[in-house]
Amino acid sequence: MKNVQVIVYGLGLAGIALLIVLLVREGAGEVGLAIARVGWGLLGLALYHFAQTLSDSIGWLLLIPKENRIRLIRSFFLHWMGESINNLLPTARVGGDIAVARIAAMWGMPLRVASAAIIVDVTIGIVTKVCYFITACILLIVSTGRTDLTRPALFAVVTGTLAVTGFYAVQRAGIFRWSAVLASRLARSPAWGSLVQSGEALDQAIRLLYSRRGGVAGSALCWISSWIIASGEVWIALRALGLRSSFASAVILETASLTIRGAAFLVPGAVGVQEGGYILLGNLLGISGEMALALSLLRRARELATGIPGLIIWQLVEAGHVWRAR
């Protein structure tokens, strides 16, 4: 565990160093002026982003049987907190999902149902992300005329499809019970029997959620809506920076951000890596390096504007739970 922490912090420092290099190369002054021109537009971006949080909240609830659901307002705050943790804390983008399941259980939802809903929701999100990635690749090739990008794009699509298919298959096969059985055999202790039972209960809950076809379809539609809303945020940010880029460019940039953050999950916030990706794609789309860098930093400012209150709410919820327990 300590070695992993050292790697994460080392990668974080490397990312910060890369960001500084990019700022120096593209001109920190020009980037700062571009962001300053946005002004109160940052508040508009933050408020607009909550539409995506609402879509995510609805999609997650649709997966859950009515008797186990929490209220929509609570689901909204859950996803706000979870996203804030994933964006601002070095948790490899899984800490927020764990917190969502934990707090949902605190608010009365069975833990196995909350955990299963998170796993199924993430799987559906990855499936729709692959579809969105394919769309972005087509738009990129059409917009730039770079047919040489077809082969690497096809390789990425095939790899992503195989990965999500395998992830789905092991869920349906009962991966959590298998893992618990393996752990109990390695430990050679009957005390691990409860872990096997918990793993089996989680597997059953996952199968139940997948069997609710209407909920799965509704969740997928909400995920697609979420990706479109996120691309709209990029488009609005481009306009706020004074760029008249198309919505197709916004879709490409948003998909790039999602892909980079997924690939660089060990780098806290993908600092530096996201900025480099924006500059690379910006050059292909006719966006100057300083404007692409300003766009990335503007989105980070929005993440801070919505993420810091989300972390505060999370701490208040946890503190309230501890207080009531005492």
- 174 falls in which pLDDT band (50, 70, 90)? low
pTM comes to 0.84
Cα dihedral 102, 103, 104, 105 in deg (nearest 10):
60
Domain of 28 in residue numbering reads as: 2-325
Provide φ and ψ at 64, rounded to 5°.
Answer: -95, 135
Q: Which long-range contacts (CB under 8 A, 24 or more apart) does 315-318 make?
A: 317/77, 317/81, 317/103, 317/106, 318/103
65-93 pLDDT, tens digit per residue, is 999 999 999 999 999 999 999 888 877 67
Q: Is 195 within 8 Å of 180 (Cβ atoms)?
A: yes
- 186 falls in which pLDDT band (50, 70, 90)? very low
Q: Which amino acid is at 215?
A: G
The total number of structural domains in the chain stands at: 1
Residue 148 has pLDDT above 80, yes or no: no
Of the chain, the end-to-end C-alpha distance in Å amounts to 31
pLDDT of 220 = 95
* Minimum mean pLDDT range among 187-201, 220-234, 309-323: 187-201
